[in-house]
Chains A and B, each alone.
Chain A
Amino acid sequence: MAKTGLLEVHDLSVGYGGEPVCAPVSVSVHAGTALGVIGPNGAGKSTVLQTVVGLLPALGGTVQLDGRDVDEREAGFRRAVATVLDDDAFFPSLTGAEHLLLTARGHGVADAERVVAEEIEEFGLTERAHALPSALSSGQRRRLALAAAFVRPARLLVLDEPERRLDAQMRRRLAARIAEDVADGLTVVFASHDPEFLSTVARRVLVVDDEACSVVSPKVAVAALSEG
């Protein structure tokens, strides 16, 4: 009998107003692996990710995490899944460090201050940790949002174009960091346009398309991305 993945997506149809934006998706993601998601702009990558984490209702098909239907209203699901999607929203009167501390404490992380301080350093925000979001650059805000996914425990990490608004060095560091976490047992699903990021992190790649969605090797995906 085949081993069941941590995340099982079966015939998932995603879209808005009852209209699918891409072909149905079926994929199984095992614990401790990373699945990349690629496709042209507007193909529906973000819609697939948002539906997988329960932020958008599915038009059809199923998504299961650990054998249970995904329901983001359940605390257990929120404990297990960390997401960094396209949000660029912050409380205007909370500093960057306070946003991370809220996340860490909200998840009951032991020694939250230390964990937050480490991630602030890891994401190169030490100088700006106590600045309000309005005083942060776009790239710094993106790093802050990404850091929030790492100050809390998670079994599944879902990222939408994590390389966006990061410089080359930070992209490489983040890719290496995620690859390390995957080796330690974290499961990652991420959409990306960056061939280097994809080849560093992904074990398999889901190609989202109008006609048919398929799973390919990172090598094939990187070649497809390079061809544009």
Chain B
Amino acid sequence: MSALLAADPAQELSGVGVRRFTRKATATRADTSWLTLGGDLLSALTTAGVVVAVFGGAFSALRERIAARPDSGSAVLPGELTALVAAVLVTSAVVALLSRLGPVSATPATAAWWLPLPAGRRGLLRGELRRVGLVGVVAAVVVALPVVLAAPQAPSVPEVAVTVAGAALLALAVVGGLVVLQAAGRTGWVAPVPGALATVVVVVPAVGGTLVDGWGWVPSAPDVPLPLLLGVPAVLAVLGLLAADRVSGRLAAGALRERGTAVFVASASALSLDTRELGRALGTPVHPPRRQRSWSWVKGPWHAVVAADLAVFARSPWRWGQLAIGAALPVLAARTRGLGEVPALVAVAVVIGWALAAVALGEPSRRAHGAPAADRSLPMSAREIVRARALVPLVGLVLVCGVSLGLTGLGWQWVLLGVVTAPAWAGAAVRGGYRPELDWSGPVLSSPMGAVPTGVGATLVRGLDLGVLGTVPLIVGLLLGEVPQLLLGIAVLWSVGLGVLSVQTAQRRKD
């Protein structure tokens, strides 16, 4: 009888004791021998070594190729600046991701079986804190390594080591700071800050590099002694981690459980290669409206679809930043010394930037695919609804592509080429949003990532595929360095054709 059970608080398991109990019970059914762990460690180290060697080689080769190219007049931004922008972009994404997922969280099982125990939460969560710290360190290495390897002068091994170690220590300090904010229940403002920062650091150099004739500032490594270069981040890391450990006992079970569920869904989506569901799991909630709208201009079902899409988009502030970054990336590449002279690299930046914009504008389609009931209530055929849903992406991408390519190529003909390429990407946005789920019921293939269903590649790139195809005339223009009338005409037919094909072949869920 629970009310009458005898219990002694002195005999309660501590947080460490609870973790040990769970670990021991797990160990009896898992192969966790030293031999296995050693093998796993060796395998991880080998993989990391191969990745570093491959990326290092690729960066080195790229640096030499770029250095051999003559400078063009319009590429004024130093490569170091763009490398720094890329680092800030990735770091912002990692910080936003960590704040969305906790950073400390509890798996559903942990939330159900550990957190209700009287054991100190600090001890219970210490393992999780270590894991989050490790994630921060790995992310820092992944960000810092390409940046230091991309430096115009080949860096020495000690320089690479110091940079990577400094970044790893700073990452630990950031993780510690995020945990402190989490315990105070103040992570709500964290994600928007790196989001805004990422937008500013991409847009400002892109616009600045276009408007000014010469860019004066070149980022360089701070000229400070080594002990200080590593000492300050080390002190910050220790302070951050100590503070995080100290406040982890104040983390609320409800919030830990909610973040843990997000981690669980995100992990499951990543493992099942469902990138759309992954986006939903990591996505920020739509902001509630500040005022009720009357929608007086809505006169029919087509208007209703457009109004709903505009509302979804307007209440997702992240998407605005995504559009700005998507538009600015090709401009940044074109204005960067070394990159701007290589049309293939500018084309890659165009594809990445516009794909980012198309994903942002595909948000209403993704939501509609996830909750088809609202669409079914409209007096329109499924095909008509999908067509109507292409309108908002089309308008958005006409603006993004026109402005983006106009600033990239610096001429009205480039603006026109960007505008006429937009239909292909608008179709891609809708096609990607409505793409079918992966079919795990059919035959699967063995891969280094485990079993994957056949046709996984085609499903994952659905949408993006026709967008990239639609960019082919633009790539030709970039290679030619001009936009002949004939190319413009071909681009119109090609892009509109692909846009129509995308919308016609966007599949709706059958349920």
Contacts and interface: CB of A to CB of B under 8 A. Distances in A.
B121 interface: yes
A186 B254 contact: no
Contacts of B254: 50, 54-57, 72
A150 interface: yes
B116 A82 contact: yes
B300 interface: no
B55 interface: no
A78 interface: yes
A107 B117 contact: yes
A93 B23 CA distance: 9
B118 A153 contact: no
A89 B108 contact: yes
Given A73-B249, A89-B111, A154 B2 contact: yes
Contact of A186 (B2, B26, B111, B121): B2
Interface in B108-155: 108-109, 111-113, 116-121
A98 B18 CA distance: 12
Given A78-B117, A107-B118, A110-B11, A93 B3 contact: no
Contacts of B109: 89-92
Nearest to B23: A93
Given A79-B9, A94-B25, A106 B117 contact: yes
Contacts of A93: 25-26, 29-30
B113 A90 contact: yes
A114 to B, nearest CB: 11
Main secondary structure of the interface of A (DSSP, over half): loop
Interface string B407-447: 00000000000000000000000000000000000000000
Given A91-B26, A108-B7, A102 B252 contact: no
Interface stretch (A177-185, A192-200, A212-220): A177-185
Given A72-B253, A78-B118, A93-B30, A109 B5 contact: yes
B8 interface: yes
B13 interface: yes
B253 A73 contact: yes
Nearest to A186: B3
B439 to A, nearest CB: 24
A152 B12 CA distance: 11
A178 to B, nearest CB: 10
Interface string B250-265: 1111100100000000
Nearest to A17: B288
Contacts of B113: 89-91, 99, 102-103, 148
A62 to B, nearest CB: 17
A81 to B, nearest CB: 8
A172 B306 CA distance: 54
B35 interface: no
A1 interface: no
A57 B254 CA distance: 8
B7 A87 contact: no
A10 interface: no
Contacts of A103: 113, 116-117
B19 to A, nearest CB: 11
Most buried by A among B4, B113, B285: B113
Nearest to B285: A17
A106 B252 contact: no
Contact of A108 (B11, B108, B121): B11
Contacts of B11: 105, 108-110
Contact of A73 (B2, B4, B119, B250): B250
Interface in A137-173: 145, 148-155, 157
A151 B116 CA distance: 13
A138 to B, nearest CB: 15
A186 B21 CA distance: 29
A2 interface: no
A79 B118 contact: yes
Contacts of A87: 108, 111-112
A102 B21 contact: yes
B104 to A, nearest CB: 14
A223 interface: no
Interface in B193-235: none
B267 interface: no
A56 B257 CA distance: 11
A72 B26 contact: no
Interface string A43-61: 0000000100011110000
Contacts of B4: 153, 184-185
B486 interface: no
B3 A181 contact: yes
A154 B6 CA distance: 10
B18 A102 contact: yes
A83 interface: yes
23 contacts: A54-B252, A55-B253, A57-B252, A57-B254, A72-B252, A73-B252, A87-B111, A89-B113, A91-B113, A93-B26, A102-B117, A105-B12, A106-B118, A107-B117, A107-B118, A108-B7, A108-B12, A109-B6, A110-B6, A110-B8, A153-B4, A153-B7, A154-B2
A-B CB proximity, top 10 nearest: A89-B108, A108-B11, A106-B117, A108-B12, A186-B3, A55-B254, A75-B118, A87-B112, A153-B5, A93-B26
Given A78-B116, A83-B116, 8 more contacts: A54-B253, A89-B109, A89-B111, A93-B25, A109-B11, A145-B112, A148-B113, A181-B1
